[in-house]
Structure 1
Amino acid sequence: MEGGWPAGGGFLLYLTVSLLLPGKGDTFTINCSGFDQHGVDPAAFQSVFDRKAFRPVVNNSIPTRVNISFTLSAILEVNAQLQLLTSFLWMNLMWDNAFISWNPEECVSIDQLTVSAENLWLPDVFIVESMDVDGAPPGLTAIVSSEGRMKYDRPVRVTSICNLDIFYFPFDQQNCTFTFSSFLHTVDSILLGMDKEVWEITDTSRNLIQTQGEWELLGINKATPKMWVGSNLYDQIMFYVAIRRRPSLYIINLLVPSGFLVAIDALSFYLPAESENRAPFKITLLLGYNVFLLMMNDLLPATGTPLISVYFALCLSLMVISLLETIFITHLLHMATTQPPPMPWWLHSLLLNCTSPWKCCSAAPGKGNKGLGLTHLHGVKEPVELVGKMPGPREAELNGCPGSPRTHLVNLWVQFSHMMDTLLFRLYLLFMATFIITVIVLWNT
């Protein structure tokens, strides 16, 4: 007929309209003649396989609801330098396919089948934070029920962006997100939902997680925000995954050795100030602590400034201050026993006020140096050797003490050196205790 459609063109038009327009439910009922006890004839599903390029609905104005859940089965790596979380997930997708239905009573009681996923329409759901290509293995299958309910599970290794905060390392907790959304379909075509509660996902992940290494799963929460891209609105489900680092490795290898070295440095103050081994001992400790930091550098985060780095820096500073204090006291003792300068009156008065009520002068040589509450110093020259000769009685009476003025001055400077050593040691302990308590409080917040 003139102006009419060719036979072939009319068939294609009919096929297209039948796919796009609403139709009766019987149109997509699977013929049970292809079912038997030994399997299913692929020809029974051929019409469904031919429609896999189309979203499986009988009315395109009705969006397909895709239910999403997942199981976190492994936390493989947390890269603080690149801000990446590598994990292994089992993704579970469920939706309805209006092109598939059959009556189990007429089809030898078969109520579900396993069909190759390559032959079916699959929702283009992806993880927004993922930074690598989907690594799902090929040849996956989907479970199809007689009502057209599709269930598609696939394993995937996800390397996702995660905003990592390493300030509290190694007692840190991280919150990473997995946002599920569609590539192309807006809310008019695909709506996302869940067929499991969040607590079920959390409990299943805790029970099935394979790695018992550095990280442990704390909990999972969800949110359902919409995402605008230009004028298009996309549905999405955002899961917040909270993980915590197991700090035992870092406590044993970092904090405990560092604490031992600082404690030994504090105890070294009990070595006699006149000892020649005190300063070399502190220098050896300082060098050993630097070697320790170099060896343990690989265990620390490569980026950022975690609190533990501040802790190590302050420990190193304490050891340097301790060495400087020893150098200062050694200098005072050397000056007191060689060429003691005249003591200022205010310093002399301070010594009189700070000491117990002993006479502020040396006792007789035969009774030891008890006049100022001091014991005899090992390595300090005797007053006779320092002065060269014993003063006469008349000179001693004029000076108010039964000994030499030089001896009296030496003992005053020695006493001042010991007082400064005690004072600086107490300040050292106060600063160390304040610093350690502050770090512990910060780690516990």
Structure 2
Amino acid sequence: AFPSWHFHDFMFIFYIDAYTINCTGFDLYGVDPNAFQSVFDRKAFRPVINFRVPTLVNISFTLSAILDVDAQIQLMTSFLWVNMVWDNPFISWNPEECGGLTEISVAAKNLWLPDLFIIEFMDVDTTPTSLYAYVHSSGRINYDKPMKVTSICNLDIFYFPFDQQNCTLTFSSFLYTVDHLLLGMEKEVWEITDNSRDIIRTQGEWELLGINKATPKLIMGSSLYDQIMFHVTIRRRPRLYVINLLLPSGFLIAIDALSFFLPVESGNRAPFKMTLLLGYTVFLLMMNDLLPASGTPLISVYFALCLSLMVVSLLEAIFLTYLLNLVTTQPPPMPPWLHSLLLHYLRATDRCNKRSQKEPRGSGPNLIHLPGLMEPVVMATWVPGSSEAKLNGDPGSTRAPLEQEAQGRLTANMWGKFIVILDKLLFWLYLLFMVSSLTTVIILWNT
């Protein structure tokens, strides 16, 4: 009996001889189209001798540019150079017979091409059709395909402009299942990442951080498809947004904090804060085009926080101005608990500062100066002299009005001190809240 292995070897040698291309004269007269005509006639069929054997297609790509990332409609537009390599057993020739010719370029329309596509692709494929493929003497075909890919990507803009995104590019066959086509890697993932990073290093708003690979199977009903999934991690370059958004906003909020040093009794603080608030609102309207149109990024929370701080600061200035006007025109009586608390605070401040306030001696009145509020106030402890009483005829006739006036000025004086202390307290509370809030936002951005 004829051994089976001899039969297979014979059939293999027969296939090799049957599909070997006669390349004699290619080095002298150029490629003869008739030599490849049998191959071109088979382009409608998958190039295998045994249809039960799947075709292995090795793929790789180079991410040459990230053209746009649209957060509103969740799309990433990129430019890829896709490389596909597979074997065609119907093409082979002996390089020694044609002057050492090892590969030639053939129009891609004359060859069978794998129907690979990107699952996340969301646009019309505008790849040019007049492409060429390199055919090796062993039958290996190398086909490069440039693609402008608009792919769907789940974008998280919460950390804008310090955000990074993870978009997916999944290569799969549209028609062939795992029984007919398998996918492999032509290059390692680190090579794809390094080549892509070198090309797009200085281009555009985004930079490439890394590319990872996964090979899950795609199940569609009873069919199983092979696929390779690439996770592309990109990060936004935030310099434009820091210069145009964050720094101006930070300067305006700093100026608003410094406006607390304007004397409240001058009446200029509230108009200044109102002008500053109006300018900040105009700034937000002008910079609105740079912000994402969808979602609620952290930078929007930051702007809302700055705007709220300015509004609170303006309300504080209005309240103090109203209170100051009320005190200087018709001071209400100070509640006993507030009067006692204010005295305790003043005494504690004096002890901390180690100052001893010396009261002037003599027959003149005790003076208390309200800083910027009014003229020196006469304390109620001053008793007018006898000579003034004689001029009025009755000593008791002037004592009561003067004491009442002194008491009113003393109340106004205490209210003035209270306004100054309240202004300092609100300033420190404002400053504490501003620093803590901005620190929280910065920590969230860093995480």
1:376 to 366, 370, 376: 370
CA drift of 1:307 comes to 0.2
SS in 1 for 2:265: coil
Match of 1:152 in 2: 143
Q: Is the 8 A contact 1:214 1:245 kept in 2?
A: yes
SS in 1 for 2:425: helix
> Which structure 2 residues correspond to residues 42-57 of structure 1 after superposition, within 5 A?
42-57=33-48
Can you list the C-alpha shifts for 1:91-141, whole angstroms capped at 9, x where unaligned? 000000011111111233211111000000000011111111222122100
Q: Using the alignment, how far apart are the partners of 2:212 and 2:81 within structure 1?
A: 17
1:439 to 431, 434, 441: 441
In the superposition, relative to structure 1, how do residues 164 and 424 fare at CA in structure 2: closer, same or farther (>3 Å)?
same
2:346 to 327, 351, 355: 355
Q: Determine whether 1:239 maps to 2:230.
A: yes
> Which structure 2 residues correspond to residues 118-157 of structure 1 after superposition, within 5 A?
118-157=109-148
CA drift of 1:366 comes to 6.8
Q: Which runs of 5+ in 1 are unaligned?
A: 1-20
CA drift of 1:206 comes to 1.3
In the superposition, relative to structure 1, how do residues 252 and 324 fare at CA in structure 2: closer, same or farther (>3 Å)?
same
CA drift of 1:150 comes to 0.4
Match of 2:408 in 1: 406
Q: Using the alignment, how far apart are the partners of 1:227 and 1:363 within structure 2?
A: 95
SS in 2 for 1:147: coil
Q: Determine whether 1:196 maps to 2:198.
A: no
SS in 2 for 1:355: helix
CA drift of 1:403 comes to 7.6
Q: Using the alignment, how far apart are the partners of 1:415 and 1:209 within structure 2?
A: 64
Q: Is the 8 A contact 2:201 2:207 kept in 1?
A: no
Letter in 1 for 2:139: G
Match of 1:18 in 2: none
Q: Which runs of 5+ in 2 are unaligned?
A: 1-10, 351-355, 386-394
CA drift of 1:26 comes to 1.9
Q: Is the 8 A contact 2:277 2:310 kept in 1?
A: yes
CA drift of 1:212 comes to 2.0
In the superposition, relative to structure 1, how do residues 68 and 403 fare at CA in structure 2: closer, same or farther (>3 Å)?
same
In the superposition, relative to structure 1, how do residues 366 and 59 fare at CA in structure 2: closer, same or farther (>3 Å)?
farther
In the superposition, relative to structure 1, how do residues 368 and 204 fare at CA in structure 2: closer, same or farther (>3 Å)?
farther
In the superposition, relative to structure 1, how do residues 39 and 367 fare at CA in structure 2: closer, same or farther (>3 Å)?
farther
Q: Using the alignment, how far apart are the partners of 1:192 and 1:213 within structure 2?
A: 32
Q: Determine whether 1:257 maps to 2:259.
A: no
Q: Using the alignment, how far apart are the partners of 1:339 and 1:406 within structure 2?
A: 9
Q: Using the alignment, how far apart are the partners of 2:157 and 2:280 within structure 1?
A: 23
CA drift of 1:168 comes to 0.3
> Which structure 2 residues correspond to residues 37-186 of structure 1 after superposition, within 5 A?
37-186=28-177
SS in 1 for 2:414: helix
Q: Is the 8 A contact 2:370 2:413 kept in 1?
A: no
Letter in 2 for 1:420: L
CA drift of 1:412 comes to 1.1
Match of 1:5 in 2: none
CA drift of 1:241 comes to 0.6
Q: Using the alignment, how far apart are the partners of 1:429 and 1:36 within structure 2?
A: 83
Match of 1:11 in 2: none
Match of 1:310 in 2: 301
Q: Higher mean Cα deviation, 264-273 or 29-38?
A: 29-38
> Which structure 2 residues correspond to residues 196-235 of structure 1 after superposition, within 5 A?
196-209=187-200, 212-235=203-226
Letter in 2 for 1:376: L
Letter in 2 for 1:169: F
TM-score, with normalisation over the residues of structure 2? 0.87
Match of 1:31 in 2: 22
Q: Using the alignment, how far apart are the partners of 2:364 and 2:297 within structure 1?
A: 61
Match of 2:353 in 1: none
Q: Using the alignment, how far apart are the partners of 2:251 and 2:366 within structure 1?
A: 39
Q: Is the 8 A contact 2:367 2:376 kept in 1?
A: no
Q: Using the alignment, how far apart are the partners of 2:72 and 2:102 within structure 1?
A: 51
Q: Using the alignment, how far apart are the partners of 2:282 and 2:274 within structure 1?
A: 13
RMSD: 2.8
> Which structure 2 residues correspond to residues 293-304 of structure 1 after superposition, within 5 A?
293-304=284-295
Q: Using the alignment, how far apart are the partners of 2:201 and 2:252 within structure 1?
A: 37
In the superposition, relative to structure 1, how do residues 166 and 248 fare at CA in structure 2: closer, same or farther (>3 Å)?
same
Letter in 1 for 2:136: S
Q: Using the alignment, how far apart are the partners of 2:408 and 2:289 within structure 1?
A: 58
SS in 2 for 1:350: helix
1:429 to 419, 428, 431: 431
CA drift of 1:377 comes to 3.4
Q: Using the alignment, how far apart are the partners of 2:230 and 2:156 within structure 1?
A: 19
Q: Using the alignment, how far apart are the partners of 1:68 and 1:368 within structure 2?
A: 95
Letter in 2 for 1:419: I
Match of 2:5 in 1: none
Q: Is the 8 A contact 2:377 2:413 kept in 1?
A: no
In the superposition, relative to structure 1, how do residues 444 and 367 fare at CA in structure 2: closer, same or farther (>3 Å)?
farther
Can you list the C-alpha shifts for 1:141-182, whole angstroms capped at 9, x where unaligned? 000011100000011100000111100000000111110000
Letter in 2 for 1:46: Q
TM-score, with normalisation over the residues of structure 1? 0.88
CA drift of 1:417 comes to 1.0
Q: Using the alignment, how far apart are the partners of 1:340 and 1:111 within structure 2?
A: 103
Q: Higher mean Cα deviation, 170-179 or 202-211?
A: 202-211
Letter in 1 for 2:414: L
Q: Determine whether 1:328 maps to 2:319.
A: yes
Q: Using the alignment, how far apart are the partners of 1:319 and 1:366 within structure 2?
A: 47
The percent of aligned pairs where both chains have the same amino acid is 66
CA drift of 1:379 comes to 5.0
What is the number of residues matched between the two proteins? 416
Match of 1:17 in 2: none
Q: Using the alignment, how far apart are the partners of 2:198 and 2:63 within structure 1?
A: 10
Q: Higher mean Cα deviation, 177-186 or 407-416?
A: 407-416
> Which structure 2 residues correspond to residues 330-349 of structure 1 after superposition, within 5 A?
330-349=321-340
Q: Using the alignment, how far apart are the partners of 1:367 and 1:151 within structure 2?
A: 105
